[in-house]
């Protein structure tokens, strides 16, 4: 992949992440906590994919697995964020299916969403620094 395409693809993932992050904040302000965390997952996924493209100069893998993405980028950093990422994973997949969605609605509170958002902000800053 040539440098121009890499830059465009990285920018594509960053812009998508920013849009998802904005959507997450709107959903949070409307007390839609399950979808807040769904969009938090999407936002982090896209930032990780931007970093993947920048680092390896290839297309990002087709995956929603945040742990796998971060492990391939920086295994040491994964150790710090693995619990957060593994806890966010159900919001990407299970939030789409009725039997799991019901449980998520019962257990996802304002406090939980705030906690995840705060933890994710640290990871977002780390990724952003690497993208500079």
- Give the per-residue pLDDT at 79: 96
**Residues 99, 118: Cα–Cα separation, whole Å:** 28
| Sequence spans of domains, the chain | 3-131
pLDDT tens digits, residue range 49-79?
999 999 999 999 999 999 999 999 999 999 9
In the chain, pLDDT over 90 holds for what percent of residues? 88
Q: What is the CATH number of domain 3-131?
A: 1.20.120.330
The dihedrals phi and psi of 66, each to the nearest 5 degrees, come to -65, -35
Q: What is the DSSP secondary-structure string of 13-75? A: HHHHHHHHHHHHHHHHHTT-HHHHHHHHHHHHHHHHHHHHHHHHSSPPPS---HHHHHHHH-H
pLDDT tens digits, residue range 71-112?
999 999 999 999 999 999 999 876 677 777 888 889 999 999
- Flag whether pLDDT at 40 surpasses 90: yes
pTM for the structure as a whole: 0.95
Query: What region does 31 belong to: left with phi over 0, alpha with psi -120 to 50, or beta?
Result: left
Radius of gyration from C-alpha coordinates of the chain: 15
Average pLDDT over residues 19-26: 98
100: its two tokens: 């799991």
Q: Give the H/E segment covering residue 80.
A: helix 75-93
């Amino acid at each position: 992949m040539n440098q121009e395409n890499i830059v465009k693809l990285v920018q594509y993932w960053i812009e998508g992440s920013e849009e998802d992050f904005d959507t997450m904040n709107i959903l949070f302000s409307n007390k839609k906590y399950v979808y807040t965390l769904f969009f938090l997952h999407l936002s982090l996924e896209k930032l990780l994919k931007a970093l993947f493209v920048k680092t390896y100069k290839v297309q990002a893998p087709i995956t929603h697995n945040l742990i796998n993405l971060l492990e391939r980028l920086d295994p040491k950093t994964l150790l710090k964020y693995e619990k957060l990422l593994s806890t966010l994973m159900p919001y990407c997949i299970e939030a789409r299916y009725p039997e799991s969605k019901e449980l998520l609605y019962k257990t996802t509170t304002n406090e939980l969403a705030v906690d995840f958002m705060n933890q994710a902000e640290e990871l977002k800053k780390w990724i952003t620094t690497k993208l500079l």
